A and B are shown apart, each in its own frame.
Chain A
Amino acid sequence: MAVKMDPIHQFELKPLISFGHIGHQEIAFTQSALYMFAAVGVIALLTIAATSRRSLVPGRMQTMAETFYEFIASTVHQSAGHGSERFVPLVFSLFMFVLVCNLFGMIPYTFTVTSHIIVTFMLALVVILTVVIYGFMAHGTHFLGLFVPPGVPGWLKPLIVVIEVVSFISRPISLSVRLFANMLAGHIALKIFAGFVPALLAAGVWGILSPLPLALSVAVTALEMLVAVLQAYVFATLTSIYLSDALHPGH
């Protein structure tokens, strides 16, 4: 009985339609792209199809859409304060996209879009570029005041500015690595624990121990469900906090 125990295999991209190469880069419609568009479709169903009747007394799906909207709107408002309404669509899109991609990954045999660093990094880059571009557009050079906290003695200022700049630059990295690493590690752990079950069953007497990793993979699945939702929330909250800098760079 050959049990495939490759926990990395699930992260491989499988081209469904290949459009050829540009240099070493293969341009292909992969299962990852399919899940991205599936996520967009699910979100559109939830937020557009379910609200098409504009019911005064909402049904289940419309209530869900309204709950998500109000949740994100209040998160953005609390974190980014006055004038943050314009960023609600961005944070809402990011939150729903990450949430639905994470949850898609929890279905067995599916692919987790957010387990690829390039995807999470691009999403984080969207956030940081929004902060930088909007910050300069709205406040001009005053936006750079973000790196000079008020009330710092003069001799300490160069050091503080360096620290602030480094922390600002590390934001997209921490934002993307946090999501990517959580999804990756969770799915690897799940695969390994689940893989122990058939491995133990195939090992004769050791098969009596197989319920242990089975129970563990059930527990890890529950934990991963929590992580999937929590990471989407963390991504949205941190985005709101970073956007607050673009809106109020002087604090």
Chain B
Amino acid sequence: MSEHGAGFPPFNSTTYASQILWLALAFGLLYYLMSRIALPRIAGILHDRQSRLAADLDEASRMKSEADGARETYERSLKEAQDKAKGIAQSTRDQLAGEAEERRKTLEADLAAKLAESDAAIRSRTATAMGNVREIATDTAAAIVERLTGQSPDRAAVEAAYDRARPVH
């Protein structure tokens, strides 16, 4: 091109047709590749990613609500079980307490009967003992009187005297 290309190359118009030709071919090819292959594909990738992300987020929120529901159910059944267990424990406690009370009552009645029995035994023994005391006391008194006076006192008189002197219970 140098035969025409004296001067500044960008203003050398003899090269224009050639440059326009190759530019048209190259840029046409580029536009074809971009509009037919590259950009639809990139747009598709971006769209897929976006819809995938949205779907994943939806799935995650769905799962979260599911988990929340499951937790609620679990808590409810746990509370039910706790209430039930509490009820069972209470009724068992009540039952046991009733039984114990009953047993205590029978035991107490038993003890009271035994106590009364013992009381009666003690009283009878005491009465017997007291009777014996009377005998011993009159005997002793008679003996004392005999030793002091030298004569045996009347037994009935001694007993009468004892009864007079005896402390009232």
Contacts and interface: CB of A to CB of B under 8 A. Distances in A.
The range of chain A's interface size is: 35 or more
A116 B29 CA distance: 20
B18 interface: yes
Contacts of A27: 17-18, 21
A176 B33 CA distance: 24
Contacts of A69: 39, 42-43, 46
A116 B19 contact: yes
Nearest to A49: B38
A48 B9 CA distance: 35
B19 A8 contact: no
Contact of B14 (A26, A58, A126): A26
Contacts of B22: 29-30, 32-33, 36-37
Contacts of A70: 46
Given A36-B26, A40-B29, A40-B30, A66 B45 contact: yes
Interface in B40-70: 41-46, 48-49, 52
B65 to A, nearest CB: 26
B26 A39 contact: yes
Nearest to B17: A25
A52 B4 CA distance: 46
A157 B19 CA distance: 41
A65 B31 contact: no
Interface residues of B, number: 39
Interface string B144-159: 0000000000000000
A28 interface: yes
Given A24-B4, A92-B34, A93-B34, A13 B26 contact: no
B33 A40 contact: yes
Contacts of A48: 33, 37-38, 41
A96 B30 contact: yes
Given A66-B45, A69-B43, A122-B23, A25 B14 contact: yes
Contacts of A8: 8-9
A99 B7 CA distance: 28
Interface in A41-66: 43-44, 47-48, 51, 54-56, 58, 62, 65-66
A90 B33 CA distance: 11
Interface in A106-158: 115-119, 122-123, 126
A211 interface: no
Nearest to A58: B45
Contacts of B16: 25, 118
B15 interface: yes
A15 interface: yes
Contacts of A15: 1
Nearest to B43: A69
B167 interface: no
A30 B45 contact: no
B149 to A, nearest CB: 138
Nearest to A180: B10
Contacts of B12: 13
Contacts of A126: 27
Given A39-B26, A48-B41, A93-B34, A118 B19 contact: yes
A122 B42 contact: no
B20 interface: yes
18 contacts: A11-B9, A12-B5, A24-B4, A25-B17, A27-B17, A33-B19, A33-B26, A37-B22, A40-B30, A47-B42, A48-B33, A48-B38, A51-B38, A89-B39, A118-B10, A122-B23, A122-B24, A126-B27
3 closest Cβ pairs, A-B complex = A33-B22, A89-B35, A47-B38
Interface of B: 1, 4-5, 8-12, 14-24, 26-27, 29-31, 33-35, 37-39, 41-46, 48-49, 52
